[in-house]
Amino acid sequence: MATKQPAKPKKPVVQPKAPEAKARRATPFEQNARADVSAEEIKKLIAEAAYFRAKQRGFAPGHEIEDWVAAEAEVTRRLQGSP
């Protein structure tokens, strides 16, 4: 009868590393990061931007329309993603 040899300890199984991706693809959210903004929210953003423009110049009267138009342009530019 043959004698059994003691079992050799098993080596730990090492999982092969996955090849690293060369370039990470943008998720659908990142591709279209601009969320839909309601007209009411846009008006609020414009009003806030106009307020801060007026505050920056010391609330001097006579520039309200200038502030509003500049604020509209700023908000539109930001929502479209332009710098």
Please write the tens of the pLDDT for every residue from 1-23: 556 666 666 766 666 666 555 55
Q: Is residue 31 part of a domain?
A: no
Q: Is residue 65 part of a domain?
A: yes
Q: Is residue 1 part of a domain?
A: no
Can you tell me the distance from the alpha carbon of 33 to that of 31, in angstroms, rounded to the nearest whole number?
A: 6
Can you tell me the distance from the alpha carbon of 34 to that of 18, in angstroms, rounded to the nearest whole number?
A: 33
Q: What is the reported pLDDT for 15?
A: 65
pLDDT class of 29 with cuts at 50, 70, 90: very low
In the chain, % helix, strand, coil (3-state, to 5) comes to 45, 0, 55
Q: Is residue 29 part of a domain?
A: no
Cα–Cα distance list, 22 to 19, 25, 31 (Å): 9, 10, 19
Place of tokens 């300890």: 9
> pLDDT tens digit string along 54-79?
999 999 999 999 999 999 999 999 99
Q: What is the reported pLDDT for 70?
A: 97
* Number of domains into which the chain is organized: 1
Domain span holding position 71: 36-80
Which has more pLDDT, 47 or 83? 47
Q: Is residue 68 part of a domain?
A: yes
